[in-house]
């Protein structure tokens, strides 16, 4: 009967695949949908000032910083998370308090904050972002780079690891 032969071959193929994937780590138990946490970038925390206030926008605006915040593993969007943003802009240096601001993510885990135009500083046009509530999820600092100094927006995504 063809169906019994099919079943035996199928069983061998499936069990073989499970053994191979478990040995090679292709599928890790518990991380099946495996969204890896975002590591802190080198230099990301430079000129960080803890507790930047939540603002409508930083300074006069004209430039958009946006991104998403999700949970590692299942990728669930995280709502009402506080993201701090700072950069060297047309209105101030990175360490100036008025160059810093924070915003909250929406229900879909998205954030978007208007700020002054980022200009190249220390050799690269770049921004800084921090998730630092630190209670539920580990602190992450990001330092994304603009493709061109003429860009008027920049984005960075956070995948947070439970603390």
Partner 1 sequence: MLPARTILIWGCLAAAVSVPILIAARSPLLQWRQPIYIVGGFAGIVSLAAMLCQPLLVGGYLPGLPTRRGRRVHRVVGTVVVLSVVVHVAGLWITSPPDMIDALTFSAPTAFSAFGVISMWMLFAAAGLALARRRIGIRSWRAGHASFVSLAVLTAVAHAMLIEGTMGMVSKAVLCLLVLIATGKVMADLKIWRSFRGRNM
Site string for partner 1, 56-95 (x = CB under 8 A): --------------------------------xxxx-xxx
Nearer residue to partner 1 within complex by CB, 70 or 143: 143
- Interface with partner 1 by CB under 8 A: which range of 10-18, 23-31, 45-53, 59-67? 45-53
Count the site residues for partner 1 by CB under 8 A: 22
Distance from C-alpha of 42 to C-alpha of 115, rounded to nearest angstrom: 23
Question: Residue 76: CA atoms inside 13 Å, Cβ hemisphere, count?
Answer: 7
120 binds partner 1 (CB under 8 A): yes
CA distance readout (Å), 122 to 40, 46, 93, 119, 159: 19, 12, 11, 10, 27
123 near partner 1, judged by CB under 8 A: yes
**Tokens in use for 132?**
């630092």
Which residue in 38, 52, 110 sits closest to 79, CA to CA? 110
Residue 53, C-beta contacts closer than 8 angstroms, at least 6 positions apart: 101, 102
Residue 119 CB, nearest approach to partner 1 (Å): 5
Q: Which range of residues in 6-14, 50-58, 106-114, 120-128 is near partner 1 by CB under 8 A?
A: 120-128
Q: Of the candidates 98, 138, 134, which has an alpha carbon nearest to the alpha carbon of residue 116?
A: 98
The smaller minimum CB distance to partner 1, of residues 109 and 144, is found at: 144
Judged by DSSP in three states, 19 sits in: helix
Work out which of 97, 122, 151, 153 binds partner 1, going by CB under 8 A.
122
119 binds partner 1 (CB under 8 A): yes
Site of interaction with partner 1 (CB under 8 A): 41-43, 45-47, 88-91, 93-95, 119-125, 143, 149
């Amino acid at each position: 009967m063809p169906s019994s032969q099919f079943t035996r071959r199928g069983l061998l193929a499936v069990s073989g695949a499970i053994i191979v994937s478990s040995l090679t780590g292709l599928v890790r138990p518990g991380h099946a949908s495996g969204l890896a946490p975002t590591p802190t970038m080198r230099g990301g925390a430079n000129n960080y000032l803890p507790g930047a206030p939540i603002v409508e926008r930083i300074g006069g605006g004209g430039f958009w910083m946006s991104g998403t915040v999700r949970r590692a593993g299942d990728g669930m969007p995280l709502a009402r998370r506080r993201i701090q943003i700072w950069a060297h802009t047309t209105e101030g240096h990175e360490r100036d308090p008025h160059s810093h601001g924070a915003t909250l993510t929406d229900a879909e885990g998205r954030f978007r904050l208007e700020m002054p135009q980022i200009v190249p500083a220390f050799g690269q046009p770049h921004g800084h972002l921090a998730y630092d509530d630190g209670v539920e999820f580990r602190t992450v600092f990001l330092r994304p780079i603009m493709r061109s100094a003429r860009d008027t927006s920049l984005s960075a995504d956070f995948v947070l690891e439970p603390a």
